[in-house]
């Protein structure tokens, strides 16, 4: 599996999930419930994108499990755009700008910004950088901040 550019990750849900999976599980997918690596990707049009099943404990999960991207109707690729534009909630970006680039309503954009800023307050600060892989660094810092 080759490295996915964050810009490709913005293209569609499948790429967005693959990108997050590579960032969060650099050594292979791990079940967040029992720690087993005996997991299979669920494939099928009727299933939500990025779902896995653990063969050890039978749990279903995706890379968004216990991240700020969980329990939201906003597609992951739009979240990744917002994370990138705001440098993980640390940069001042207007909801209107997020709305325009991520193609969400200004109201949704404002909610996304609030959630990102809350996560940024918990996460270790990622040093400022213009490199595209700052997205990966931010996402890792978010997961490290989880209790
Ligand atoms: Zn498991």
What does the pLDDT look like over 4-53, one tens digit per residue?
666 777 888 998 999 899 888 889 999 999 999 999 999 876 567 899 99
Element containing residue 51 per DSSP (H, E) = none
Q: Are residues 54 and 126 in the same domain?
A: no
Domain that holds residue 96: 1-24+64-147
The domain tally of the chain equals 2
Distance in Å, CA 37 to ligand 1 centroid: 8
CB 41 within 8 A of CB 47: no
Distance in Å, CA 60 to ligand 1 centroid: 8
pTM of the model: 0.83
Q: Are residues 86 and 108 in the same domain?
A: yes
Distance in Å, CA 53 to ligand 1 centroid: 8
CA 66 to chain centroid: 10
Q: Which residues contact 108 (CB under 8 A, 6 or more apart)?
A: 74, 99
CB atoms < 10 A from the CB of 8, how many?
13
């Amino acid at each position: 599996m080759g490295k996915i550019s964050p810009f490709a990750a913005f293209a569609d849900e499948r790429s967005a999930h693959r990108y997050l999976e590579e960032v969060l599980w650099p050594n292979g997918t791990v079940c967040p419930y029992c720690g087993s690596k005996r997991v299979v990707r669920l494939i099928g049009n009727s299933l939500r994108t990025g779902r896995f099943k653990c063969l050890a404990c039978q749990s279903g999960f995706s890379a968004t499990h216990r991240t700020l991207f969980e329990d939201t109707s906003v597609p992951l690729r739009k979240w990744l755009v917002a994370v990138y534009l705001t440098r993980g909630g640390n940069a001042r970006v207007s909801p209107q700008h997020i709305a325009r680039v991520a193609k969400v309503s200004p109201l949704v954009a404002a909610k996304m910004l609030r959630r990102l800023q809350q996560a940024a307050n918990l996460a270790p600060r990622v040093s400022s950088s213009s490199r595209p892989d700052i997205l990966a660094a931010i996402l890792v810092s978010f997961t490290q901040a989880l209790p």
